[in-house]
Amino acid sequence: MKQVLRDVFLFLSKNKALTTLAKRYGLNMGASRFVAGETINAAMDVIKLLNDQDLVVTLDYLGEFVDNEVEANLRAKKICETIEAIANANLNSQVSLKLTSLGLDISEEIVLENLRMILLVAEHNNIFVTIDMEDFKRCQKTLDIYKELRKEFNGLGTVIQAYLYRSERDVGELIHYQSNLRLVKGAYKEPPEVAFPNKSDVDINYKKLIKQHLLNGYFTAIATHDDAIIEYTKRMVQAHKIPHDQFEFQMLYGIRPEKQLELVNEGYTMRVYVPFGADWYGYFMRRLAERPANVAFVMKGMFRR
């Protein structure tokens, strides 16, 4: 049943007509639990609340799978405005973005131009940028673009997904770029030809990647809500005397907020991934796919009047 629900929500996450409807009718269906709002101001308010609790943030202006140049360029400008708003408000937040929102599916030239513009503004404001990883089809292109721009910008990181067979090799290659990596399980629907179909194998690979990158000596963000992975990381950093400034935990806004604070109180850096903007539909569907309890929460919200 859980697998069927996951497949249904991942299928719905890419439905263009529903995305358009969701944008038109605004944040509802319970999505506001996971999304900070539709405007930059709403996002700034949420970051401030989190910073006040010693949680640091990475802010994502929601958007993906853009198929025209005008929209990709507008999105890039909006991300620049977002970076400036963070800096002007003196908030403790980085930025995350998806290359398909900047034109990855249109042309490499457009996405490079947009990302370079964003990175110049980010560098000027001393704000770190992470390129989220999307589906397998776009993984190689994403890594190629990351590698190209990493040579020009220090403040750039990316994401590696533990469910992909290729990830161990990718982490190995990324040493040459002194990469700041966020490690995740992976949120898209991928076939068994490219990704571990069993959750237990994903978890084993996740732990392997955490150890690999930390022992390579590079910054590692462990982005998970899974207690077993968090405990593994704590034991691993203690055993190998990894300094606290070489890693951090990350979780999504609205998920396990009590655990986020617990980790801060234990002295760990905890970064909350905060999405905002009108294009919340695909992100929200992936959160529903991850956890049936989220679906129950949403149903309660929809029918409560």
Ligand X SMILES: Cc1cc2nc3c(=O)[nH]c(=O)nc-3n(C[C@H](O)[C@H](O)[C@H](O)COP(=O)(O)OP(=O)(O)OC[C@H]3O[C@@H](n4cnc5c(N)ncnc54)[C@H](O)[C@@H]3O)c2cc1C
Point out which residues bind ligand X (CB under 6 A). Answer: 132-133, 159, 161, 184-188, 223-227, 250-252, 255-256, 273, 290-291
Phi-psi bin for 218: left (phi > 0), alpha (psi -120 to 50), beta? beta
Q: Which residues contact 59 (CB under 8 A, 6 or more apart)?
A: 43, 47, 82, 86, 93, 94, 95, 96, 274, 275, 276
- Asked about 132 being catalytic, the answer comes back as yes
Residue 200: CB minimum distance to ligand X, A: 10
The residue among 69 and 290 lying less far from ligand X, judged by its C-beta, is 290
Question: Active-site residue among 75, 138, 150, 182?
Answer: 182
On the 0-12 / 13-18 / 19+ scale of CB atoms within 10 A, 15 is middle
User: Which of 46, 90, 40 shows the shortest CA–CA distance to 61?
Assistant: 40
Q: How far is the CB of 55 from ligand X (least distance, A)?
A: 12
Distance CA 287, CA 295 (A): 9
Considering the complex, what minimum distance in angstroms separates the CB of residue 241 from ligand X?
25
Closer to ligand X at the Cβ: 161 or 167? 161
For residue 183, what are the β-bridge partners? 160, 222
CA distance 250 to 135: 20
The nearest distance, CB 193 to ligand X, in angstroms, is 17
CB of 235 to ligand X, least distance (A): 17
The residue type found at 188 is Y
Using CA atoms, how far apart are residues 267 and 284, in angstroms rounded to an integer? 30
Residue placing its CB nearer to ligand X in the complex, 199 or 235:
199
For the chain, state the CA radius of gyration. Answer: 18
- Cβ nearer to ligand X, comparing 7 with 227: 227
Other CB atoms within 10 Å distance of the CB of residue 279: 21
Q: Which is nearer to ligand X, 26 or 141 (CB)?
A: 141
| 116 given a catalytic annotation | no
Catalytic position from the list 60, 105, 132, 170: 132
Q: Which residues are catalytic?
A: 132, 182
